[in-house]
């Protein structure tokens, strides 16, 4: 695991052994989206990776909707911590 991934998991974890909660999944998808966005700034003609970006954005959107429905306090915390628009 990379250092960035470990930091994301550590900051969003609900308890000490948490590695797969909704909050962490949203954080890891956000990291992936940022990385792909930077990639597209350099390689504008890379059309194959746009599918991966679209899937990641849609999955994060679904997870955010789920989290908002189940736990609004945690939703607000994640939005603020990851600087997402909502």
Q: How far apart are CA 39 and CA 61, in angstroms?
A: 21
pLDDT in tens, 8-46: 888 888 888 888 999 999 999 999 999 999 999 999 888
pTM of the model as a whole: 0.90
User: For residue 86, what pLDDT is reported?
Assistant: 62
pLDDT in tens, 73-82: 999 999 999 9
Residue 35 falls in which region: left (phi positive, over 0), alpha (psi -120 to 50) or beta = alpha
């Amino acid at each position: 695991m990379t250092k960035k991934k470990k930091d994301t998991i550590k900051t969003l974890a609900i308890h000490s052994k948490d590695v797969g909660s909704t909050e962490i999944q949203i954080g890891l998808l956000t990291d992936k989206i940022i990385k792909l966005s930077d990639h597209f700034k350099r390689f504008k003609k890379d059309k194959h990776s746009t599918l991966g970006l679209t899937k990641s954005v849609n999955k994060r959107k679904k997870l955010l909707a789920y989290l908002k429905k189940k736990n609004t306090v945690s939703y607000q915390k994640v939005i603020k911590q990851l600087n997402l628009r909502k």
